[in-house]
Structure 1
Amino acid sequence: MAEPAPAQPSARRSRRPPPASPTWAERMKAMRNLPPFLRMVWQTHRGYVTGIALLRLLRAFIPIATLWVGKLIVDAVVEATRTGTPDWTRIATLVGIEFGIVAVGEVAARTGTLLESLLGDLFSNRMSVRLMEHAAELDLQHFEDPAFYDRLERARRQTVGRIVLLSQLFGLAQDAITLLTLIGTLLAFSPVLFVLLVITVLPSFLGETHFAALGYSLLYQWTPERRKLDYYRLIAASEKTAKEVKLFGLSPYLIAQYRTLADGFYAANRGLAIRRNLVSTGLSLLSTLGYYAAYATIVYRTVLGRLTLGDLALLSGTFSRSRDLIQRMLLSTTELYEQALYLDDLFVFFSMRPSIARPERPLPFPRPIREGFEFRDVWFRYPEAVEGAPVQMDLPDDDKSWVLRGISFRIHPGERIALVGENGAGKTTITKLLARLYEPTRGTILLDGRPLAEYDPAELHDQVGVIFQDFVRYDMTAEENIAVGRIGELARDEQEARPKVVGAAERSLASEVVETLPERYRQMLGRRFDGGVDLSGGQWQKVALGRAYMRDAQLLILDEPTAALDARAEFGVFQRFSELTEGKMAVLISHRFSTVRMADRILVLEHGKVLEEGTHDDLLALSGRYAELFNLQAAGYR
């Protein structure tokens, strides 16, 4: 039976209009990124930057010095041929001087390349760290927005190899100084040669700049598709997806999707590359024609006796190098503009600011919490998926985009509450608001009678322990996976933190898992790195529960903490649940009523509202939605 043809949703890319070339004003605007970029490079290592600049300055005078000494050598040889009495001392001295100049240039070039390489590695490392630090400051809502991931992807690409821009800037400055010395020579002998020089190279600059802008526009427009290409590559050959890919026969579909996107990008890029090549070839031929017109002028004047053979060698070499330099400078300017465009993505990312920020004068976080948390008429809807779209505050109450609708309840110190409801009822959203990962759209959340926004978010997060159902399985050691709850303690003093890690593992039953591992707490978990061992879902969940014990926070949020555990392990976790939550506030989300009934109070949510509230026995006696859900689940065990 033939495989069905996979869907081709990405084929619409072939109908996308070609990218438009930005105006000159937009191109010059991109150059505003160069000063902050240079400041960042200077701050990376001032010694390297200074050394590179001095070496480039030295190298800028090498060409004219070599050409001038070469002219003197030619004139000395011609004079020796004419008179028949060569001055060997002078000729040898000139040859030695030229050798010394070339040798100094070679040493300067090699040393400069070394310094630029070292500076590039250091700059790339610093930029990667800064990018991660800035990403850590942004809100959760940024990471749930596809447009943000496009921007983040473009910003990440700037951390690798972007130091080439510094090399281009220094190279451009070096070439400019060299060009000034060469142009001075041309003007001294014949201003006509300088005019010919400019006329022949200017069209190349305009053409290359135009196509550089189109190239950037193409890459910018295809950012989402390039992320999809990376994603298809990952899931088509990953140990996390290998079982389903094989059993469901996903490989043909994934390969077809990848091929469609890759071929679409190739087709768009091919068309642009062909046009660029044709135009560049024509402009290059025009430049070559201008060069030989100038060369013919120099030869003509030499034949007439107006120039010596040394002058011929000097001027032809000066014109040739000037032409090459101008072309290289114009191309470098084009590439500089292109690099500046890419830098724009980086600086735009750095300009993004979190909406949940530390207040100027935050209230001291209560230790211990005395009154607890209160949700007071809280409404919430997730921000618009379209970047930059304002959040509408005046939506009607029955609008479907509302996730929470006028939620009001309190959590008292030492109280354990459970959130019950069908998927999409708003349970996890409440925990995100409680941990201030999001702000309410309307209404207020209070802590000890004061708005939650008046406290430092970092201090709040420090006092909240969260285990989500989709907890992260870190490809780190078992010790690090548990210490995630207080990773700072492990980083400060590994020996002092280890007893706490072991204690947390014992209370969460993760110790039973760790004891079976070849290297115990030193064992690498996951299959990403050599020697790694993967765990079952239930084993991973015990490790994740260990993070909650390690956290030792005033508020615990457990989102389906026993979802992957078998009955025996779940019973063992329940026995320790009281110990984990003793003297703490706890919010428990679970679809298992055997877990929920342990809570002091249960909130039943439906369509973003609190439908019922009370203890397990109270809600059963009410014979409402909770009783209905409980009986449905209980029927499955009869």
Structure 2
Amino acid sequence: MENDNHTKIKRSTLDNLKFVFRYIWKWDKSLLYICGFNSIFIAVAPFIWILAPKFLIDELMGIKRVDILIKILLVTLLISAVTKYFIAYLAGAYRMKMSNIRFKFIDVIHEKAMEMDYKHTEDPDVLNAIRIAWRTVSNPHRGIGGILQKIFTILGSLAGFLGYIAIILTLNPLILLYLVVNVIIIYFINLKVNEYEKSQEGKRTEYFRKSVYVSSTMSDFQYGKDIRVYSMKDLLLRKKEYFDKIRTDISEDIESKRYRSDVIDAVLLLLREGIVYGYLIHRVVTGSLTIGNFTMYVATIGGFALWMGNLMKDIAFVKTNCKYVGDLRDFLDIKDEEKVKEPLKVPIQKPYEIEFKNVSFKYPNSDNYIFKNLSLKIKPGQKLAIVGVNGAGKTSLVKLLTRLYSPIEGEIYLNGININQFDQKEYYRLFSIVFQEIKMFAFNVTENIALKDKNINHERVKESARKAGIKEKVDSLEKGFSTSILKVIDEHGIELSGGENQKLALARALYKSGEIVVLDEPTAALDPIAEHNIYLSFNELIENRTAIYISHRLSSTRFCDVIAFMEEGEIKEYGTHDELMEKDGKYASMFNIQSQYYKEENMSKEAAGYGI
């Protein structure tokens, strides 16, 4: 994922931790205060039961004063109870706040995904980057969630670590050195395993994304008919099995390395315990160590090894997971095209004139040009039909006009002003579009038309639905315009047909009432009667606005002012319907072929109607 727009930057662990803490400080400072208080109790907790047994045994081996023994025990129990209570209380409070912080990071990813330049959404590298960024924040035990969990205890562990060192130094500095070397060896082994796991994350994420796609396809009812009719079950299962096998092989490889790390840890533990306990027993036997101190050192050394081992593992964990934070930052730092610093106001003079001037364009990571030196002018209030075979570049033209993509060369003008000079969000407000690929949201009908949940003009919603020819259908539903679309959120939601979805999408465009109307194959899923009705009301729908109508059905072009016939990214023919028919070129040929098809289709329907 390394190009001008999205480059991976090598960042230090400290730099990534600063990034996380900056957001924590911005969103909820109390999380850091809780962490600080917890560190005090975490540091104190292990030494309560390290020192208390020593004092009890010393007293039992000495004067045996009952009142002193009771005081030692009561004070120990009280301090232990208070410490455990605050650790549990602070952990609960921290957990809730930690979840809120993680959810805010998720929101940051969502905002970036919705606002980044559209071209990134069709880039496989960016799709993988989104998936990795999502995994950085979605798992409460890994990525940012894991870092927050470890930071909660690491600071206290570091403070406790100093306490362990102070006690062991009173025994023998060489014992401390030996224990530290053991734990450092384990730290670097764990770090190496964690870094290897991180190095495989990109590949594992890629195949996870592919597996999720196949899984969602198998359970998506939109594909249900194709899966059954074309017997695709075995094909999909094989693909999922293949993707899952690669993921499993990677995971098994990682776990194999982790297992070898654990074996080395166990061997070092046996050596450590044997040497250290042998030394302590020798000191007791020679009379240079009391039983009370023996008990304290046994507890200290056993606790120190475990404490430092866990501390080093936590540090290795944080170091590795900070690299995931780096991946998140790489995603958030994906650069969009530079926006104009002082945008011009969108002209108020309407209807609008649109001009493509010497425009060349190819999609990112592709060498094939869709357009080369394309020039086209759409006059104010003109209704232009763009027709041609599939792959002629019709939809790409719309993407350029709406600034979803930018030309490689050339310029696009609105009323004589380069469209890049306008604020993008303000520019978007000009358009009412029905895209070729229609998407319904799991909202109710009203929200699907208005595309908002506040300040909705309900009368306009109904009027837009009427003009689009979907109101009668909606009125027939039990909940009318409050009926949910899809069953993703509401189990009582409905699934509309392809034609009904197109009508609802048209109602959506009409409700927005943009000054430039773009209809990309808006009647492809409609039956001939519904399509005919749309054509008859086209002027009512568009009114005096500039409009672009894209279709491969040439019968739909006759109500437009002018027609552009496109082929291989070029405008081969341009003129009115009558002019192009008189020219007797490719448009006329395609129109005659399609006309013959519709005549045959209508004759068949008439025959069927008379029972012939």
TM-score bracket, normalised by the shorter chain, equals: over 0.9
Aligned to 1:554: 515
Conservation of the 8 A alpha-carbon contact between 1:239 and 1:527: no
Deviation of 1:255 after TM superposition, in Å, equals: 0.9
Hey, what's the Cα distance between the residues in 2 that align with 1:303 and 1:28?
54
- The residue correspondences of 1:60-71 to structure 2 (distance < 5 A) are 60-71=43-54
Aligned to 1:252: 234
SS of 1:403's equivalent? strand
Q: Unaligned regions of 5+ residues in structure 2, if any?
A: 1-8, 600-612
- The residue correspondences of 1:231-630 to structure 2 (distance < 5 A) are 231-355=213-337, 357-369=338-350, 372-384=353-365, 401-484=368-451, 487=452, 490-491=453-454, 493-494=455-456, 497-529=457-489, 530-630=491-591
Aligned to 1:199: 181
Aligned to 1:15: none
Hey, what's the Cα distance between the residues in 2 that align with 1:256 and 1:426?
35
Hey, what's the Cα distance between the residues in 2 that align with 1:157 and 1:323?
33
Q: In the alignment, is residue 137 of structure 1 matched against residue 115 of structure 2?
A: yes
Q: In the alignment, is residue 49 of structure 1 matched against residue 32 of structure 2?
A: yes
Deviation of 1:300 after TM superposition, in Å, equals: 1.5
Deviation of 1:499 after TM superposition, in Å, equals: 2.0
Letter in 2 for 1:524: S
Hey, what's the Cα distance between the residues in 2 that align with 1:505 and 1:198?
74
Correspondent of 1:113 among 87, 91, 106: 91
Letter in 2 for 1:535: L
SS of 2:181's equivalent? helix
Hey, what's the Cα distance between the residues in 2 that align with 1:513 and 1:49?
56
Hey, what's the Cα distance between the residues in 1 that align with 2:557 and 2:445?
29
SS of 1:241's equivalent? helix
Hey, what's the Cα distance between the residues in 2 that align with 1:218 and 1:334?
17
Hey, what's the Cα distance between the residues in 1 that align with 2:178 and 2:363?
63
Hey, what's the Cα distance between the residues in 2 that align with 1:68 and 1:30?
36
Hey, what's the Cα distance between the residues in 1 that align with 2:352 and 2:485?
41
Hey, what's the Cα distance between the residues in 2 that align with 1:264 and 1:370?
56
Deviation of 1:280 after TM superposition, in Å, equals: 2.1
Deviation of 1:200 after TM superposition, in Å, equals: 2.1
Aligned CA RMSD, in angstroms, stands at 1.7
Hey, what's the Cα distance between the residues in 2 that align with 1:583 and 1:350?
42
Deviation of 1:183 after TM superposition, in Å, equals: 0.5
SS of 1:636's equivalent? helix
Deviation of 1:30 after TM superposition, in Å, equals: 4.5
Hey, what's the Cα distance between the residues in 2 that align with 1:58 and 1:246?
61
Conservation of the 8 A alpha-carbon contact between 1:508 and 1:576: no
Deviation of 1:291 after TM superposition, in Å, equals: 2.6
Hey, what's the Cα distance between the residues in 1 that align with 2:181 and 2:105?
41
Q: Would the alpha carbon gap of residues 636 and 531 (structure 1) be closer, same or farther in structure 2, given more than 3 Å must change? A: same
Hey, what's the Cα distance between the residues in 2 that align with 1:30 and 1:180?
23
Deviation of 1:375 after TM superposition, in Å, equals: 0.8
Aligned to 2:18: 35
Hey, what's the Cα distance between the residues in 2 that align with 1:368 and 1:258?
55
Correspondent of 1:76 among 51, 59, 71: 59
Conservation of the 8 A alpha-carbon contact between 1:509 and 1:542: yes
Q: Deviations over 1:564-597 (max 9, x none)?
A: 1112212222232211211210000012223211
Hey, what's the Cα distance between the residues in 1 that align with 2:387 and 2:466?
29
SS of 2:374's equivalent? strand
Letter in 2 for 1:373: I
Q: Would the alpha carbon gap of residues 366 and 203 (structure 1) be closer, same or farther in structure 2, given more than 3 Å must change? A: same
Aligned to 2:3: none
Hey, what's the Cα distance between the residues in 2 that align with 1:272 and 1:165?
21
Aligned to 1:58: 41
Deviation of 1:247 after TM superposition, in Å, equals: 1.4
Letter in 2 for 1:54: F
Deviation of 1:209 after TM superposition, in Å, equals: 0.7
Hey, what's the Cα distance between the residues in 2 that align with 1:463 and 1:124?
37
SS of 2:433's equivalent? strand
Hey, what's the Cα distance between the residues in 2 that align with 1:347 and 1:28?
10
Hey, what's the Cα distance between the residues in 1 that align with 2:197 and 2:60?
51
Conservation of the 8 A alpha-carbon contact between 2:38 and 2:156: no
Deviation of 1:167 after TM superposition, in Å, equals: 1.9
Conservation of the 8 A alpha-carbon contact between 2:164 and 2:304: yes
SS of 1:418's equivalent? strand
Aligned to 2:103: 125
Q: In the alignment, is residue 173 of structure 1 matched against residue 143 of structure 2?
A: no
Conservation of the 8 A alpha-carbon contact between 2:387 and 2:566: yes
Letter in 2 for 1:519: K
Q: In the alignment, is residue 148 of structure 1 matched against residue 126 of structure 2?
A: yes
Conservation of the 8 A alpha-carbon contact between 1:204 and 1:284: no
Deviation of 1:630 after TM superposition, in Å, equals: 0.6
Hey, what's the Cα distance between the residues in 1 that align with 2:277 and 2:24?
42
Q: Would the alpha carbon gap of residues 267 and 514 (structure 1) be closer, same or farther in structure 2, given more than 3 Å must change? A: same
Letter in 2 for 1:434: L
How many residues are matched?
A: 586
Deviation of 1:150 after TM superposition, in Å, equals: 0.5
Q: Deviations over 1:367-405 (max 9, x none)?
A: 2336611111111111116xxxxxxxxxxxxxx711012
Hey, what's the Cα distance between the residues in 1 that align with 2:123 and 2:222?
24
Conservation of the 8 A alpha-carbon contact between 2:11 and 2:326: no
Conservation of the 8 A alpha-carbon contact between 1:207 and 1:280: no
Conservation of the 8 A alpha-carbon contact between 1:70 and 1:98: no
Q: Deviations over 1:103-128 (max 9, x none)?
A: 12211221122122212220122112
Conservation of the 8 A alpha-carbon contact between 1:378 and 1:441: yes
Letter in 1 for 2:577: H
| Percent of residue pairs bearing the same amino acid type | 25
SS of 2:369's equivalent? coil
Conservation of the 8 A alpha-carbon contact between 1:370 and 1:448: no
Conservation of the 8 A alpha-carbon contact between 1:427 and 1:605: yes
Hey, what's the Cα distance between the residues in 1 that align with 2:178 and 2:360?
72
Q: Unaligned regions of 5+ residues in structure 1, if any?
A: 1-25, 81-85, 386-399
Hey, what's the Cα distance between the residues in 2 that align with 1:30 and 1:604?
57
Hey, what's the Cα distance between the residues in 2 that align with 1:368 and 1:273?
66
